[in-house]
Structure 1
Amino acid sequence: MRELPPTAGLPLRLSDLRPGRADFAAQAAAWLGTPPMQMECSGTAALVVTLHAMRQLRPERNEVIVPAWTCPLVAWAIHRAGLSIRLCDLAPGHFDMDAGHLVAMAGGNTLAIVPTHIAGRIADVSTALAIAQDVGAFVVEDAAQATGARQDGQSVGLLGDAGFFSLAVGKGLTLFEGGLLVARDTMMREALASSHREVIRHDSHMNRQRALELCGYGLVYRPSLLALAYGRPLRKALAANDPVAAVGDDFGPDIPLHEVSGWRQAVGTRALSRLHDFMHVTRNQALSRIARLRGIEGVTVFGDAPGQEGIWPVLLLLMPNEKMRDAALGELWTAGLGVSRMFIHALPDYGYLHGIVPQTDLPQARHFAARSLTITNSPWLRDDEFERIHVVLQRTVTG
């Protein structure tokens, strides 16, 4: 059975897996045009290291404000850093934090505000910066889903005091987990390096595990084999009425914090040489397809604002209501076409985060979670397959 991935990941070649060592962070910084970057074992680990550094700089503060609809690992990272999480509701019909709510939440205990780039789309960092400056807080750009995205010709991640990227499976280039940290300011980079030395440890077991997983990715990441590696677990989870497991949102508190082997960095460095062309192909494909989707009345398709050049792992859509979203997914989620959801819930609605995140009224975040779906932007999604998706969405909306 042909099975498409839910996001557009860069396939590896067998030649990428040959022996060697490299400094991937240096290569990535040169490619992105940023100051020196710091290698971490995941985007989550990068956030832990960042928050630990910022807490050392401002020990009197202990709160971190994040959007209420984001990856649950963000909550675990804040908890792992010994800090308290505060949830900002979303702006109506958008993934950005609501500016008015953010102003009301920020104060003397705010250590950091975390604007978040979602699905390759670029967040409003400037508003978060202005609010953070008023209360003396840091800004951390969560660019886990936006490696390669640019704002006004500059890589995302550089407007805030620090920014981090993820190299997990499905986010373009992958080391089968990996993360990058960046900061404009030399003193902040020194604080991040010091935090890394305090928090991160050598773990040969985890490096062996990640090496095996990376080899497995290189072998099975193709439509002919993803039915086993991705499709079967997806259908099993949905049959058990467990959408959290279906999208891989079932995270626990254990966050690996270890060095990344030179070999995995070498694999990533070899693949990096193909990433620009891959992004060009996926961008052109996405722009053509979002134009078609925007012709469906009532469907919101997120794209770039002036000055933005995001990346396109998926197409992020809002359906008119939850009933229509669920009806479309009922036909498409298990059809092998790469249609899925991103984060199943607003953060308070994950049972395993009770006691970690505050239980509060967040109507816009919950509304966004209830209406959103994603379509893979993998080059493997053929035009006829995209047309099948378009027909289902059109029929669902028009009744």
Structure 2
Amino acid sequence: MTARRISVPPTAGLALRCADLRPWGDKRLDRALAAWLEVDEVLLECSGTSALVLALRTLQQLAPDRCEVVVPAYTCPLVALAVAQCGLQLRLCDLSPDCLDMDGDALDALLSHRTLALVPTHLGGRVADVARLLPRAQACGAYVIEDAAQALGARVHGRSVGLQGDIALFSLAVGKGLSTYEGGVLLARDPALMAALRAQHQASIRPHLAWELRRSLELLGYAAAFRPALLDRVYGAPLRRSLARGDWVTAAGDDFGSHIPQHSMGAWRQRVGLRALARLDAHWAQAQQQAQQRIAQLRTLPGLEVVEDSPPQAQGIWPVILLRLPSAAQRDALMQAHWASGWGLSLPFSRVLPDYERYAPVLGEAMDDPVPQARDWAQRLLAISNSAWLSDALFGQLLDALRQTMPPSAAG
């Protein structure tokens, strides 16, 4: 009998339970998330990208003479699409050679009286050093929007990420920990700015039956398929087809449509998220314990860098373990050999923003922004799933593959 193929999910998402899907009960996910994040109020949006669009449109009203948005050159293409949908000009900031934060010198060269906002990213659950950027933003009068789409539950100085900048957004999409299949969370630490976000939400966000029906069916499908017996059919098989075509953009999940829908989140999906939220702290605690054990093993491999949180006193979450390999050739060799092996290997994003041909029309002049350090990160970075499905035996196989990819001489 042929052994059943297992695909480890690319991130440590929180599995839903049958009891989560009940169509009755409390639906105020926004209130529960506000209490969980220890803030007075949050807004629920239909996606993290929609939350970014709403934030940018709010800031446009507050500072109509500003038109540029500075983002890391290595970030989700949806960020660029959100900026374009608002009619704003994107500027790409190079990354630091030592961490995934925006490089200070490169940022200084981009900031001006035209800058509306900076959008630092907490990538893969790792905490960015937002405090380092704040004086620069304040000096030129720009806002700071923390992109914490992949960091719901991460903390710095004992408080949730997102509370150092002016605005924060989180994602409730598949694989982000807590999931309503698609969803977003938006907040501001200043009451007046939060009131402006709320007013923009009330003026522009409406229910949309077709979109809500689609997302509800997708959430049901996710709840049913997120198990070892089925995930290979809905995730592993499409991944292998993309890789067989040599299409790393689709394999990495970077192929997005140009239009960003905006609508409210329905009551049933809020109820599902609310029930799952009660288990999120325990889920991340278990993920952290597993990650630390595996990081200790990964650090025995010469030449391999485990990406950590940037600021001191930060406690990120661990949906994945991010690794930087010594060279692009070694990273690509590992991915070509084992991306389809079912071990939970993935790329956070397949390339820097200027290197996606399909997004050139929305990047505009930003295509010419020099980002050599970000490109180096994009070419050497990979993610290992921190899902509990990645058993010790499978992780051992992955370690062996890494050893073969990076012989001891890599340390030199």
Instruction: Give the TM interval when normalised to the shorter protein.
Output: over 0.9
Partner AA of 1:6 in structure 2: P
After TM superposition, the structure 1 stretch with the greater mean CA deviation from structure 2, 46-55 or 287-296, is 287-296
Q: CA deviation at 1:93?
A: 3.9
Give the aligned partner of residue 375 of structure 1. 384
Counterpart position of 1:327: 333
Q: Percent identity?
A: 49
Q: Does 1:6 align with 2:10?
A: yes
Aligned residue for 1:359? 367
Residues 298-337 of structure 1 aligned to structure 2 (within 5 Å):
298-304=303-309, 305-337=311-343
Matches within 5 A, 1:44-59: 44-59=49-64
Rounded Cα–Cα distance in structure 2 between residues aligned with 1:335 and 1:264 = 33
Greater Cα offset, 297-306 or 60-69: 297-306
Q: Which runs of 5+ in 2 are unaligned?
A: none
> Are the counterparts in 2 of residues 247 and 341 from structure 1 also a CA contact under 8 Å?
yes
User: Counterparts in 2 of 1:108-147, with a 5 A limit?
Assistant: 108-147=113-152
Could you tell me which residue of structure 2 aligns to residue 346 of structure 1? 352
Partner of 2:400: 391
The amino acid of 2:328's aligned partner reads E
Using the size of structure 1 for normalisation, the TM-score is: 0.98
Query: Following the alignment from structure 1 to structure 2, what is the Cα–Cα distance between the partners of residues 342 and 199?
Result: 31
Shift of 1:355: 2.4
Structure 1 alignment gaps of length 5 or more: none
Question: Which runs of structure 2 are paired with 1:163-312 in the superposition (5 Å)?
Answer: 163-304=168-309, 305-312=311-318
Cα distance between partner residues in 2 of 1:391 and 1:35: 48
Q: In the comparison of the two structures, how many residue pairs are matched? A: 399
Letter of the 1:383 counterpart = D
Following superposition, the deviation at residue 330 of structure 1 comes to 2.3
Q: Secondary structure at the match of 1:334?
A: helix
Following superposition, the deviation at residue 35 of structure 1 comes to: 2.6
Q: Output one character per residue of 1:339-369: Cα deviation in whole Å (capped at 9) or x when no partner.
A: 1111001001111211221222211111111
CA contact (8 A) 1:141 1:164 kept: yes
Runs of 4+ in 1 over 4 A off after TM superposition: none
CA drift of 1:124 comes to: 1.2
Please give the secondary structure, in 2, of the residue aligned with 1:359: helix
Provide the TM-score with structure 2 as the length reference. Answer: 0.95
**Is 1:97 aligned to 2:106, yes or no?**
no
| Cα deviation digits, residues 36-87 of structure 1 (max 9, x gap) | 1111000000000000000100000010000000000000001111111000
Shift of 1:327: 1.3
Q: Deviations over 1:214-269 (max 9, x none)?
A: 00010000122111000010000011110111111001211110000011000000
Offset of residue 29 of structure 1: 1.2
Give CA deviations for 1:252-304 in whole Å, capped at 9, x if unaligned: 21111000001100000001111111111000000111111112111111123
Whole-angstrom CA distance in 1 between matches of 2:287 and 2:11: 11
Distance in 2 separating the partners of 1:24 and 1:82: 31
Cα RMSD (Å): 1.0
In the TM superposition, residue 94 of structure 1 has moved relative to its aligned partner by 2.3
Instruction: Judge which range, 303-312 or 292-301, deviates more.
Output: 303-312
Tell me by how many angstroms 1:161 deviates.
0.6
1:16 to 20, 29, 42: 20
Cα distance in 1, alignment partners of residues 57 and 36 from structure 2: 27
Distance in 2 between the 1:348 and 1:127 partners? 25
Distance of 1:134 and 1:156 partners within structure 2 = 22
Tell me which amino acid in the other structure corresponds to 2:23. Answer: P
Residues 93 and 368 in structure 1, CA contact (< 8 A), matched pair in contact too: no
Per-residue CA deviations over 1:157-213 (Å, capped at 9, x if unaligned) read 010110000000001010001000111111001110111123322200000000000
